[in-house]
Amino acid sequence: MSRKTMMAAGAVVVVAVFAGGILILADEFTEKDQKRWQDEFMTVVQQGRELWVSADLGTNGVACAQCHPNAANTHPETYPKFQQQLGRVVALRDMINWCIQQPLEGEPLKLDDPRLVAMEAYATYERRGVPLAPGKH
């Protein structure tokens, strides 16, 4: 970069930094940010809850909540773990897919499907506070 360009870039940065009349640094988030992000998260937790009680994830009308009220007995704190039913070490979403495919008789979701993230968010949220125990059967 030429000296001129560098100085221009520097000026832009300084202006940007002083934009709102206050000093804004990229890596310093505020309490307002935190609250907003937490709310964003809870929206997805709520979506996960709706999927959890939905009769439409599979093809037979069975919902996750029928066997796992409040996502109990899903043990998200133990993943990844050796999942006996899959014969290998897997992550929570792989087991969610197993349940969709087996007791719910449905098609497994793609691993990057936002619905899987939502259900993971809901299940782990209902399990908050429990220490991690990865690999525990």
Partner 1 sequence: MSDTRMNRRDFIRSAGALGVLSALPVTTVELAFADPQENFTFAHISDSHIQHIKGTEFVRNWDRGLIRAVAETNLLLPKPDFVMFGGDLAQLGTKAELDHGAEMLSELKYDIHCVMGEHDYYLDLGEYWSELFGPHYYSWDHKGVHFVVLNSILTYDQWTYERWPTAEQRMLEMAGLDNPNGSPFMVGEKQRAWLRQDLAKVKKDTPIVVFSHSPIQKIYKGWNFWTDDAEQVQALLQPFNDVSVVYGHVHQIQYNQIGNISFYAVMATAWPWPYPQSYAQATSNLPKLTVPMNRADPFFERDATGWQSIGVDSGRVAMHYNLYNNTNRTVAFNRETGRPEDTVYQTADSRIAPQIHY
Partner 2 sequence: MKKLLYSMVLVAAFVCAVGLTAEKSAGPSPPLGLPPVPYPEDNPQTPEKVALGDKLFNDTRFSTTGEVSCATCHAVEKAFTDSPLSVSEGINKLTGTRNAPTVINSVYFETMFWDGRSPSLEDQALHPFVNPVEMGLEDHEPILKIVRSDPEYVKAFKTVFGKTGDQVTMTEVTQAIAAFERTQVTGNSPFDRFYYGGEEDALTEQQKRGLDLFVNKGRCVSCHVVEQTQALFTDNRFHNVGVGINDIQNDVPELATAFLKADLTASEVDVKVLTDKRTSELGRFAVTRDFDDLGAIKTPTLRNVALTAPFMHDGSLKTLDDVMVHYNNGGVTNEGDPVNDFLSSGIRPLDLTDEEIDDLVAFMEGLTSPEFAHLAENVDTK
User: Contact residues for partner 1 (CB under 8 A)?
Assistant: 53, 60-62, 65-70, 72-73, 84-85, 99, 102-103, 126-130, 137
Query: Could you tell me the two tokens for 23?
Result: 């000093």
Say which DSSP state 131 is in: P
Contact partners, residue 62, CB within 8 Å, separation at least 6? 55, 103, 104, 105
82 interacts with, out of partner 1, partner 2, none, CB within 5 to 8 A per kind: partner 2
What count of other Cβ atoms lies within 10 Å of the Cβ of residue 125? Answer: 17
Contact region for partner 2 (CB under 8 A) — 27-35, 96-104, 111-119, 127-135? 96-104
Which amino acid belongs to residue 55?
Answer: A
85 binds partner 2 (CB under 8 A): yes
Nearer to partner 2, 91 or 108 (CB): 108
Kindly tell me the sign of the dihedral angle through the C-alpha atoms of 98, 101, 106, 111.
positive
108 binds partner 2 (CB under 8 A): yes
- We find the least distance from the C-beta atom of residue 92 to partner 2, in angstroms, to be 16
Nearest to 52 by CA among 40, 63, 37, 39: 63
- We find the least distance from the C-beta atom of residue 70 to partner 1, in angstroms, to be 5
Residues in contact with partner 2 by the rule CB under 8 A: 82, 84-89, 98, 101-102, 108
